[in-house]
Structure 1
């Protein structure tokens, strides 16, 4: 599970108070006899799919899956346009 405060760390790696609370919550649910699937269902019902390090691919998590690729594509297009514009400015005038 992902730490909701740190966002790029698991709850095991994070020192945030919320991550500690999630670790305690998971531990308590497991001690109470819940299965791993039941604990994951409980936590995702409470905090949403974003709490998972690998969220499922569905309409509500589409941005999480497609977002990084869209940003990369926009950066590549922007770089291409910037470099292409720079070349056209460097061409010498060919006036007759």
Structure 2
């Protein structure tokens, strides 16, 4: 299975809602989690996911992705549940 899954968000904000399953391309993601990837911000599979994907032929996960050319607004209430280190998770080996 090839990851990262094909998509292009150079010019789009992207929100992902992880509904259920084993989200092997990102560590620390559990059902009910929602992530925001603003326009132009690099985000790829987490460390080890590319290697692990080489032996997989399918995935067991359901997620919904919404992309928008207009920037998303984040409500103040989201700060209470924010994963504070998520934005730096790609810099960790």
Structure with larger Rg: 1
Question: As a proportion of its length, which structure holds more strand?
Answer: 2
Question: As a proportion of its length, which structure holds more helix?
Answer: 1
TM score, norm. by length of structure 1: 0.19
TM score, norm. by length of structure 2: 0.19
Where relative contact order (Cα < 8 A, 6+ residues apart) is larger, the structure is 2
